[in-house]
Each structure stands twice: as structure tokens, then as C-alpha cells.
Amino acid sequence: MKRTVSAAALALSISTPSFALMLPPSATKTICLDSYESETGAKFAGNCDQAANNKELALPLLDNGCADGQIALTSVAYPASFVQNSPKQKKNTKLKFDIEINNCLPPNVAQL
């Protein structure tokens, strides 16, 4: 009997986090990173999000939501109930995406 209860408790404790990860995300956003290729063929990604600039410049977007030559990265945010806060904090909690990358500077702007 002890082995059965222990096995059931172990199975439940292992499977519980996987049930929590099955929640549908409440929001998704696409981050567009520039991509570069070195002389040796190594590929690199930029360090800022070009999505806002793509809209401002009215660039044609591919199926991945980014312009040609950019890498698409999808970031998700889950409901506030998924976050371990008090009920009062849950109501005021802004959704936080799992990946945060700052926007690139607008077109025709130079950083001095």
C-alpha cells in the first residue's frame, strides 16, 4: 500500500508542472531581429526589435511576421493567475512577456 501511495504521489508531483505549462498564452508578439552572415558562414542576429520600424517603413512582411532578411522570435505572456501573487496584485499585474527586447531606433535616427 505504501508503495502505491508513494508512486501516485510521485507521479502527481511530476505531472503537475506540465499541466500548468499547457495553459494557452494570453498574448503573443513577434520580435524581428536583423540577421547577418560572416565571411566564414556563421550567422548572427541583431540585438534590437525591428517590428515597429517594419510597420513605419511599410515593408512587406513574410509569413513569419518579419521583413525579408530578418529572424522572427515569438514571445508569449501568460495570464496573471499563472503568476504567484496575492489576489489583489493579480488584478493590477501587467502581462509580462517571457522575452523582452528593446525596439531599434527609428529610421533616419543616429545615436551619437
Express each pLDDT in 36-93 by its tens digit. Answer: 999 999 999 999 999 999 999 999 999 999 999 999 999 998 765 555 555 555 555 6
Q: Which of 72, 73, 71, 93 is nearest to 82 (CA)?
A: 93
- Tell me how far apart the alpha carbons of residues 97 and 25 are, in angstroms, rounded to a whole number: 10
All three cell numbers of 90, joined, read 493579480
pTM: 0.65
**What local confidence, expressed as pLDDT, does residue 5 receive?**
47
